[in-house]
Structure formats: C-alpha cells, structure tokens
Structure 1
Amino acid sequence: MSVFFQTVQTATCIQGTFGSNCSNICQCVNNENCSHVDGGCPNNQCAAGWTHANCSVACNRSTFGSNCSNICHCHNNATCNHVDGVCSNKRCAAGWTHDNCSVACDHGNFGENCSYECHCINGVRCDPVFGNCPDDLCAPGWTQSNCSVACNPDMFGKNCSSRCHCLFGASCDKSSGLCPDNLCAPGWTESNCSVACDQGLFGLNCSTQCHCLHKANCNHVSGNCSNEQCEPGWTHSNCSVAPL
C-alpha cells in the first residue's frame, strides 16, 4: 500500500503588517518590522504618535510624538496630530509658537503667536501666556496687571505715577519723561522737566526772579506771591513789572 504525504505551506504576513488576516499595520520606530503575530516592535520602541504593547494605539488627543510624551498646545484646546503635533485649527495656544506649537515664547514676548512684548522692570521675563511680571513690577512707562498698557500721554515713569511737564502740554516720553526738544512748561526744569524752579525763581526755564515782599515765596509757575504783596518797586499780579 502506498502512503502519500501532502505538504501544507503557510505564509507569514508581508513586512509591515501583522495579526488576523494581516490586517494591522506595524507602527515601529524607524519603520522597523514588527512581529507578524502580535505586532510587537523591536525593543518595544513605537513610532512617534503610537503607544501600547504592540504600538497599535494612537496617542490621546492631548499628546503626540515619541512615547506620546509631548503635550499639545493648541488654541482653545483643539486636538493636535498625534504624530507631529500640528494643531487641527493651525493656531497655537497663548505662550506657544513653532509649526507644532511646541516652543514657548522667547524671553521678552508672550500671548497668542508670541506677538506681545513683555514690559517688566529691569527686563526680566514675563509669563509667556498672560504677560504678568514677577511681583507685578512693570518697567517705567507701563501699567495694568500684565504691564501691557502704556502710560497716559500726560504721565510717565514707574507705575505711571509721574506727571509730564512739557511746554504747551506736549506729551513726554512714557519711560523717561523727556519732553520734545527738552522744552519744559513754565515752572519746571531739569532734563525731564520734573523739578520745580528753585525758591525765588519762576516761569519759562525758571528764568524770572520772584519779587515778593519780605522775600516770601512765589508760585514757581505763575510767580504770584504767597503773601499777595510785591516788594517795593514791583507791581502786577506776579510782581514782575517795574513801574516806569
């Protein structure tokens, strides 16, 4: 009696696939082949954007990249691509920039698209999201909670607490208080026109002498005497006119 043996040939999945009917795609780092049975990758290293024992699970909606270790930073908490981190709405959350919103704003900038400038005292870094400065200390010339609002045109300096004294009410530099062409309003002097005339002087450039009875003080702007009396030989409301 003759006995015949039939050889049964079995085929493994083609490279890059695994599992039932070879219907699953390998997701191994550097496109390495996975186990054709269970999808396990060499050294358990998954491609960017994938996780789990056989690298078959995409990163959750808020993470991406290698080992799903990077946090998405998309505007309004939109989802990002689980592989490269690109936001679905193409907009980064405040404080973040770059193609995939993975880079914090540079020193000195904050907000959406890192488009706002920090204004902290001594140039220290502000919060990259909201712009708040350490201890809420703004640079001279700036105010509000995140130091993003310039002083009003007639104010300058730290906390916008100093008043400009420019000729004809012109605006001064919000940081230094310097006036256009260094022209001070009557009654004021120094480089930023922040110092009142010395006692005994008043007016434009502090160039006019007071003439008050008994050397009383006069107003440094108008020259009017505090005792409303002129010294002998002078008249007018501010005692600046000598009789003919």
Structure 2
Amino acid sequence: MVGDVCANPCPDGLWGKECSMRCDCYNGGSCHHITGECMCKPGYRGDKCQEQCPIGRYGNNCEGVCQCRNGGKCSLTDGSCRCSDGWHGVHCEERACAEHLYGPGCTGICTCEPSNTAM
C-alpha cells in the first residue's frame, strides 16, 4: 500500500512495504498487493501459477472437472468443449454429422456430386 494513509494499492506487479517488492507470478497471475501471494488465472495453479491444469481439469485452481466426451478437448479456462471431427453437442455427446455435413461441429458442407458417391 502506498500513500499517506496506505489507502492506495500497489501498481500491478509490485507488493509489500512502499511497493518495493516485485511480483513473481507466471502465466498472467497477479500478486496480492500486501502479501505477494500469487492469484492465478483460470487454467493454472501452484504457488507461482507455474502449473497448467492437468488433462480433465479446468478453471480457478483447476477445481472444475471436464465433461467432454468422445475425444473432445476441454478449455482450461471455462471447461467448454472443442469436439473432434464427427461429434458435436455441448459435451461432444452427439454422434456423427447429418448427411452432407462434416468436420468440427459438423459445420462443413459436402460438395460431392451425387454421381461420384457410392450408394
């Protein structure tokens, strides 16, 4: 804290008496202006925010459990799923694309000529 009555927090990246200590947090983490304790962004944990959440976990201090299925990849920050080809839905739970669709989220449209496909 700085100022005549210690009412102003330290600038980002500094902490301690007269804001004389440099913050030592990684991956975008910030430190508490009085104690210097690192406060991690979602997707990271550890004393200095040095650890990325392990596979299957996400969020603040990696407390969330991913719900993605069928090879979907979980966002480290909010747990949203990025589905593998042929799957869609909030948790990648819906199988294969409808006829004439393909790709991530089944958003690609097939442009095959009917005469060039097997029936």
- TM-score normalised according to structure 2 size: 0.43
| Bigger radius of gyration among the two | 1
- TM-score normalised according to structure 1 size: 0.23
- Higher RCO by CA contacts (8 Å cutoff, separation 6 or greater): 2
